[in-house]
A and B are shown apart, each in its own frame.
Chain A
């Protein structure tokens, strides 16, 4: 899937996608209000690219994501909304790779999983 999407960089927040063996969205740093719009844009484009391929799982690596404000985190909610609008056979799962040492991640991801328990998988990497 030869798609290249420009990474989002806002202060120390970085969001970058990769389409290798694993289709991945990697987030790092600490997001602020200004990052929400470009991050939403990136996820929209990412979703479109994923829909053009046959993908069942997308890894969302937030191991080095220190903090995400509400505006940015809601992009995940919107993303789940986009996935649930797809035909069931075209839906893909979000496999979150999180950091067990960062408390907000665990709580927020569990809350997020309540939106679509079948589409959100949470794993820890630290």
Chain B
């Protein structure tokens, strides 16, 4: 069946507008994790997928489908996507625009649709590998984590950060093949110790629903799972920690909390147990709760098991004091380990992941009524206000925090940053730009006047370090600490 030309023309016009909106929204997601933009993308692509099918643009329909897969993977990792993943998405949008524009019934002359789809599938398969490190161990989807854990302790990260800053400067100054090698080293260090932001919300944790229902079915239990998380910008470490904690706490709730239907009936409860995962940012803390209406913690059994293992149990029912015991590695009330539980590692892993990112796990439980786990993690502010300058001979822009204000005083310590950092020197035209904080002032040469801007933290160093790495509009730059420079003379 051939559709009237005006219908096809209208489809083309509307489709191209949709694609433009999606491309703009995607840019907004990457720069500001804009939740409205995420909703818009989902809606527009899904609508375009339906419309393209209706008007017979099967090629557009196919790429839409692949694009939905790409966005699904991006969502799972909180939109902390690699640069080549971003490129795959934007190229898919452009590819679709080309398919929309081509003449009706025309051959795909020069356009390699199967080849393009293969490329997207390759990107998807690699990205899925990255976001599902547990897959290699052949376990259920519920075990998936949103982002691979870096396994670098805060202490090690603190020691590596200044080295990463040095590596960044070496890389920025290098040329040729030497620069290629340093780029790999810098990026490895950056990925290891840098702050990578991600979005957490219902979309990132909803995958646990599927695993929860599968596990309940396996155990002969009936459950209802409700996951509702308010969106917030966090680091990928926090996202990974929450993802892991929810995984273990939900599994724990199903395995140990929710009773079998007959037991629930005997206790005058609905046969279907309820599990709720909720939370969001409250002030500068991200709170997440996992609660169930199951049997609650059998303190007697735990006390007995602790005794068998030579551990001391709290004498009172003070819930917080039980956390240490419940999360003790190897403690389980199961007599034998199964493929679901019994090894006593779940709660330990959940708490360790939360503590690693500076959070706290607490719990309240009432026998016969259920258990409520609460996670609280302080949110890290990632944006810094300040000014950017461009010192000659230094290969990157330099950012000065807003506690230092530009001044015209011309008195104070003058810093030759190029010489200080060991870069080649020469007579480059620049203006001396002065900053002051209280009684302190310092001057730095700049090719341009200081411009107010915002920077995003990338590699954070102790306040005693001269510099750290930030990004300004996505460009890696150097945050300079003038007070440390002045102290060094």
Contact = CB atoms under 8 A, between A and B. Distances in A.
B299 interface: no
Interface string A26-62: 0000101110000000000000000000000000000
Interface stretch (A1-9, A15-23, A66-74): A66-74
Task: Pick from B89, B90, B112, B179 the residue with the most CB of A within 10 Å.
Answer: B112
A70 B83 contact: yes
B183 interface: yes
A34 B472 CA distance: 11
Contacts of A107: 84, 119, 122-123
Interface in A99-126: 101-102, 104, 107-108, 110-119
A11 B396 contact: yes
Interface in B8-60: none
Given A33-B473, A81-B98, A107-B119, A114 B84 contact: no
Given A69-B83, A116-B110, A77 B91 contact: yes
B95 A115 contact: yes
A11 B91 CA distance: 25
Contacts of B384: none
Contact of B94 (A34, A77, A104, A119): A77
B168 to A, nearest CB: 13
B395 interface: yes
A113 B116 CA distance: 9
A71 B87 CA distance: 8
B91 A64 contact: no
A51 to B, nearest CB: 19
B116 A111 contact: yes
A114 B180 contact: no
B115 interface: yes
A77 B98 CA distance: 10
Interface string B173-193: 000100110010000000000
A77 B89 CA distance: 13
Contact of B110 (A71, A112, A119): A119
Nearest to A113: B112
Contacts of A66: 179-180, 183
A110 B115 contact: yes
Give the interface size bracket for B toward A. 20 to 34
A12 interface: yes
A111 B122 CA distance: 11
Contact of B119 (A11, A30, A33, A111): A111
A26 B246 CA distance: 50
A114 B122 CA distance: 14
A67 B83 contact: yes
B455 to A, nearest CB: 14
Contacts of A114: 95, 111-113, 115-116, 119
Nearest to B90: A70
Contacts of A71: 90
B179 A110 contact: no
A32 B110 CA distance: 30
A108 B475 contact: no
Contacts of B115: 110, 113-114, 117
A53 B89 CA distance: 35
Interface string A72-113: 011001000100100000000000000001101001101111
Contacts of A110: 115, 119
A113 B87 CA distance: 14
B85 to A, nearest CB: 9
Interface in B88-102: 88-91, 94-95, 98
B110 A34 contact: no
Nearest to B395: A12
Contacts of A33: 473-475
Contacts of B473: 33-34
Contacts of B109: 118
Given A70-B87, A108-B87, A111-B119, A117 B111 contact: yes
A41 to B, nearest CB: 19
20 contacts: A32-B474, A33-B475, A64-B176, A66-B179, A67-B83, A69-B83, A70-B89, A84-B110, A102-B180, A107-B122, A108-B91, A111-B87, A111-B119, A112-B91, A114-B112, A114-B113, A114-B116, A114-B119, A115-B111, A119-B110
Interface of A: 11-12, 30, 32-34, 64, 66-67, 69-71, 73-74, 77, 81, 84, 101-102, 104, 107-108, 110-119
Closest 6 CB pairs of A and B: A114-B116, A114-B112, A70-B87, A118-B110, A70-B90, A116-B110
Interface of B: 83-84, 86-91, 94-95, 98, 109-113, 115-116, 119, 122-123, 172, 176, 179-180, 183, 395-396, 473-475
